[in-house]
Amino acid sequence: MPNIWNVPLERSASFFPDRPAVVEEGRKVSYRELNHQAGRIARALLDQGVQPGDFIDICAPNSADWLAVYFGVLKAGAVAVTLSALLKEEELSLLVRQAQPRFI
């Protein structure tokens, strides 16, 4: 399931599996764990019928979970459309209508 955009994550998980990829609010997420979470998200998206090239909007505060979703979308072969969680409702609505994502 790896694609060109996940090669750095896959390589980091291979070479430095136990090193922290993300540290937030006292929580450490290793490269292995981030890669595993991204793989689970990719599998869930594929199970829901996501096809390569489908747009998936991501709108959430920056976090380790956000990164796992981002890399999971890429692992599924979809296009991650990142939207700022700070945008107003009407701004988000316009962007979502333009992107016509398969999932948000």
Query: Could you report the per-residue pLDDT of 49-66, keeping only the tens digit for each?
Result: 999 999 999 988 889 999
50-89 core/surface letters (b: 16 or more CB in 10 A; e: else): beeebbbbbbeeeebbbbbbbbbbbbbbbbbbebeeeeee
Write the pLDDT tens digit of every residue in 7-29: 688 888 988 999 999 999 889 99
Does residue 104 lie in a domain region? Answer: no
In the predicted model, is pLDDT for residue 82 greater than 90?
Answer: no
The domain that holds 42 is classified in CATH as: 3.40.50.980
In the predicted model, is pLDDT for residue 67 greater than 80?
Answer: yes
pTM confidence score: 0.83
1's tokens: 């399931």
Please count the structural domains in the chain. 1
For the chain, give the mean pLDDT.
87
In the predicted model, is pLDDT for residue 5 greater than 80?
Answer: no
Does residue 34 lie in a domain region? Answer: yes
Domain that includes residue 68, residue range: 4-99
